[in-house]
Amino acid sequence: MESLFCINNEKMMAILGLEKPFQAKIIYQNLVKGIIDFNTMTSLPKALRERLSEERGSALTGRIIRKEEADSTVKLAVAFPDGDIIECVRLSDGEGRYTACLSSQVGCAMGCAFCKTGTMGLVRNLTAGEIVEQFALLSSLGERISHIVFMGMGEALANFTAALDAIKELHREDGFGISYRKMTISTCGLVPGIRKLTELDIPVRLAVSLVSADDETRSEIMKINRAYPLSMLKSSLISFQRHQDRRLTFEYCMLSGRNTSHKSAEDLAQFCKGLDVLVNLIPWNPIPELGFRAPDEREIRTFENDLKKLRINYTIRRSKGQSISGACGQLATETRSSE
Ligand code: SF4
């Protein structure tokens, strides 16, 4: 079953056996409003609604098999027809702003040692339609979502074409209409992907999961650093910033005793030189099987003081949704649906 996103009107007509182009437009407009049940698309003739509902069930290929809610964070597990499952999350800032955190792959090949998704390995890339469907499913929960981060399962730049097609679809003026500037791609430092993104005239934001600005430590924790060490990463970021003129974010997952020393702060300051960057400190969310320790309050405060002294722009993110494993680095699923 094919997704109804990221296709043109003619293709939607062919997939659904529609006779009139305006019917495809009506269905698309309903999907964009978060109406994903053909039966509730009341602007379509009743007979057509019934036929589509009978033939296809939901208008989306993905279906929610689990919904968990905590601290105003909602996490959905979504199963696709082939049985693969991903997770996506709706985050709230508590002031009416909602952000969708989307997955780009089932699992991930990058194997970052602090990340639960990394333990799954790569199962497969998601299609552009499957990525957009996550946004539609999160929108169907009822709140208007204005921001998108590609920080769910997978390395978006390793699924470049599909991620870019999804971004363009999510930006469509006659669709969800999300501004490029409100979309953030997160990468573990896949330099060829950053270079490709640099060449495109699409002003999305870039977040780099940095974790350490010391090559030896970073290579131990993030395998990607062995292929693309910090010097290569930095030159790709300088070039990205020169072209896009956008502030970068460095996600700095704090691992007790590994990347929180004075020396770590100095390395970070050195790496930030020449870049317009906001460092986002994220105290690690404990995942028992991964063998790291979360920093305690004292360790966090000491590191913060070091960053202040070194005049590094930073914020600290206390992860929401920890209790439902919806926090950074905590998304992982059984890979096949048993339902
Ligand atoms: S941190 Fe990102 S890139 Fe690294 S293993 Fe996890 S999902 Fe993959």
- Domain of 55, CATH number, reads 1.10.150
Which residue range(s) make up the domain with 137?
60-324
More reliable by pLDDT, 322 or 167:
167
| The dihedral formed by the CA atoms of 215, 232, 120 and 101, expressed in degrees to the nearest 10 | 110
In this predicted structure, the answer to whether residue 330 has a pLDDT above a threshold of 90 is no
Q: Is 21 within the bounds of a domain?
A: yes
Same domain flag for 50 and 73: no
What residues contact 164, with CB distance under 8 A and at least 6 apart?
Answer: 200, 202
In this predicted structure, the answer to whether residue 274 has a pLDDT above a threshold of 70 is yes
Distance CA 203, CA 182 (A): 9
3-state secondary structure of 216: helix
The residue with tokens 């890979």 is 335
Same domain flag for 78 and 174: yes
Q: Is 335 within the bounds of a domain?
A: no
Distance CA 249, CA 251 (A): 6
Q: Is 330 within the bounds of a domain?
A: no
> In the predicted model, what is the mean pLDDT of residues 295-301?
96
Question: Which one of 9, 34, 59 terminates a domain?
Answer: 59
**Residues with catalytic roles:** 87, 328
The residue with tokens 């290569």 is 232
Please, which pLDDT band fits residue 245 given cuts at 50, 70 and 90? Answer: confident
Same domain flag for 198 and 208: yes
3-state secondary structure of 66: strand
Q: Is 332 within the bounds of a domain?
A: no
Q: Which pLDDT belongs to residue 285? A: 85
215 CA → ligand 1 middle, Å: 18
Same domain flag for 16 and 109: no
Read off the pLDDT of residues 178-224 as tens digits, 9 standing for 90 and up: 999 999 999 999 999 999 999 997 999 999 999 999 999 999 999 99
Nearest-atom number in ligand 1 for the CA of 331 is 7
Q: Is 155 in the pocket of ligand 1 (CB under 6 A)?
A: yes
What's the number of domains the chain is made of? 2
Above pLDDT 70, what percent of the chain?
94
- φ, ψ of residue 22 to 5 degrees: the values are -65, -25
> In the predicted model, what is the mean pLDDT of residues 2-25?
96
Same domain flag for 246 and 314: yes
In this predicted structure, the answer to whether residue 339 has a pLDDT above a threshold of 50 is no
> In the predicted model, what is the mean pLDDT of residues 22-30?
96
Q: Is 336 within the bounds of a domain?
A: no
Same domain flag for 69 and 136: yes
161 CA → ligand 1 middle, Å: 18
Same domain flag for 66 and 35: no
Above pLDDT 90, what percent of the chain?
84
Q: Is 305 within the bounds of a domain?
A: yes
Same domain flag for 68 and 166: yes
Q: Is 189 in the pocket of ligand 1 (CB under 6 A)?
A: no
Asked if residue 259 lies in contact with residue 307, where contact means CB atoms within 8 angstroms, the answer is no
Q: Is 243 within the bounds of a domain?
A: yes
> In the predicted model, what is the mean pLDDT of residues 261-281?
97
Same domain flag for 257 and 273: yes
Same domain flag for 51 and 85: no
Same domain flag for 37 and 118: no
Vertex 181, ends 331 and 235: CA angle to 5°?
80
